[in-house]
Chain A
Amino acid sequence: MNDKILVVDDEESLRLTMKLKLKAAGFDVDVAEDGEAAIEKLKSQKFDAVLLDINMPRMSGIEALGVIRQQFPQTETIMLTGFADFSTAIECLKNGARDYLVKPIDTTELITRLKSLLRSKSSEQALFEVQRQYSSIFFNDMLGPLKEMVEALDRALKPKGKSDTTQRDKIVKEARDKCEKMAKEIQVLLDFSSTEIEKKTKEGISINTTELAERLKKLRENMS
């Protein structure tokens, strides 16, 4: 699916030209004529990034940026700035805009920066997914069983009579099996880490975080 971009500018010719350029570069594009119209569009559709003009009537780009950061934090914002707007553009960066471009906008620069921003956004999301998968493995597949083992072993350490011996043997055997399973899982994770991350890093091969997250997800499915 193509990345979806919202172009916000009060000038029709700039909206149309940017729409044509971005469509030619493979993006899905929608346009809005000011901040208010942009917020309305964001309420009804999900956009990956917004190209936001700073100087607009009704709701300015700066005001719109505030609302976007608050209500649509998953949407990235690039500010479009014209004459004498540099200090405002810097202020926008401080307030959560990811980048700014100076008009008249160079097409190659626009496409390059937008793709780079979206790539970095998807890498961030993938890294978050990797972290989520790892946390889930440690929490559900290791910490949970470990706590159960501790509780079971505590019970085994407090025998209530000779008849409990059989029960204690059963608990110890279950604990041993769980330990063995966990050791195997840790080994699988270490192998994965070694082949997918360490080896590639040493060989200078860039790591595709989206792919990494997918492989980790499959690995976990196989483990369970």
Chain B
Amino acid sequence: MDTKAKNIIRYEYKFQFEHGRETNFNVELDAESLELLGSADAPRPAWTKLNFHQCENCPLSSDVEYCPVAVNLARIVESFRDNVSFESTVVTVKTQERTYVKETTLQKGIASIIGLFMSTSNCPVMDRLRPMARFHLPFATSRETFFRSISTYLTAQFLLAHKGKEPDWALNKLLEYYKAINVVNKGISNRLAKASERDANVNAIIILHSFGDGISYFIQDGLEEIEPMFSVFFDNVEIPEQSNGGNVSTPSGPAS
């Protein structure tokens, strides 16, 4: 067995357009650190310099020459610099486990892969999103992204509590993280506006910005919407210790 392959997480993105044009991107992550592999070979156009429209909250020192997020995005941004956001495309994403195919707008397809690149770039602000890269869900809806985000954060708090540290069950710091993440999203959108002729790249960042922007409102109002789905946990029903030969029945009828 190829041990090297075993330690790599791969996402193969294929964008297919009308008239047969096709563009491919392979994303390879170190399975343990979730760091993007191969970014050392990425092109470094002028707009990837750290001081080019540097984010307001950038914690990197001036001796860092290139913005790690911009470097990770360079190839995809250069590929789609002349494309319109709502251009129709069929995007196929192959992972080791399954294949996703979606006919969608280019902005949505780019947002999906850009989210992956940004969270694994070693940007100190975007690093908080890195665990989500392991459970990357291409073309996720807002609600799915909010849910994954909150779930990932609560898992981190559980692990924190397990280590004897103070967990943040109220999600206060999650909102702080997203505020900082959105400052980066805004900074990157300014950067990409200078690097692109049309709106596909910038609008992809705007989609990611909207997730960061909406999460506090989702926690406030959106969670109420999904609360009924969790009612089984609120009723405090005891689970019988012994099974009846593998068949489970409920008072309301057969198990679904």
B193 and A10 form a contact (CB under 8 A): no
Within 8 A of A (CB), among B131-151: 141-143, 145
**CB of B120 within 8 Å of the partner chain:** no
B199 and A85 form a contact (CB under 8 A): yes
For the complex, give the distance between the alpha carbons of A56 and B105 in Å: 10
For the complex, give the distance between the alpha carbons of A103 and B221 in Å: 23
A84 and B145 form a contact (CB under 8 A): no
**In the complex, which residues of chain A have a beta carbon less than 8 angstroms from the beta carbon of B209?**
103-104
A83 and B214 form a contact (CB under 8 A): no
Q: How many residues in A have their beta carbons less than 8 Å from beta carbons of B? A: 22
Within 8 A of A (CB), among B201-217: 202-203, 205-207, 209-211, 213-214, 217
B143 and A83 form a contact (CB under 8 A): no
Known: A55-B86, A104-B185. Contact between A21 and B206, CB under 8 A? no
The interface stretch among A11-19, A44-52, A140-148 is A11-19
Minimal beta-carbon separation of B251 from chain A (angstroms): 36
Question: Which of B86, B142, B189, B220 sits near A16, CB closer than 8 Å?
Answer: B142
**CB of B130 within 8 Å of the partner chain:** no
**CB of B89 within 8 Å of the partner chain:** no
Known: A12-B141, A13-B145. Contact between A104 and B193, CB under 8 A? no
Q: Scan A1-24; emit 1 where CB is below 8 A from any B CB, else 0.
A: 000000000111110110011011
For the complex, give the distance between the alpha carbons of A16 and B186 in Å: 19
**CB of A57 within 8 Å of the partner chain:** yes
For the complex, give the distance between the alpha carbons of A84 and B107 in Å: 15
Question: Which of A11, A17, A85, A105 sits near B107, CB closer than 8 Å?
Answer: A11
Minimal beta-carbon separation of A7 from chain B (angstroms): 12
For the complex, give the distance between the alpha carbons of A82 and B185 in Å: 14
For the complex, give the distance between the alpha carbons of A53 and B204 in Å: 15
B211 and A82 form a contact (CB under 8 A): no
For the complex, give the distance between the alpha carbons of A57 and B214 in Å: 24
B213 and A17 form a contact (CB under 8 A): yes
**In the complex, which residues of chain A have a beta carbon less than 8 angstroms from the beta carbon of B54?**
none
B217 and A82 form a contact (CB under 8 A): no
Q: Write the residues of chain B forming the contact surface with A, with a CB cutoff of 8 angstroms.
A: 84-86, 88, 105, 107-108, 141-143, 145, 182, 185-186, 189, 193, 196-199, 202-203, 205-207, 209-211, 213-214, 217-218, 220-222
With A14-B210, A104-B213 known, 20 other A-B pairs at CB within 8 A are A10-B86, A10-B105, A14-B207, A16-B142, A16-B210, A17-B210, A20-B217, A20-B218, A21-B217, A55-B203, A57-B86, A83-B196, A83-B199, A84-B197, A84-B198, A103-B206, A103-B209, A104-B186, A104-B205, A104-B210
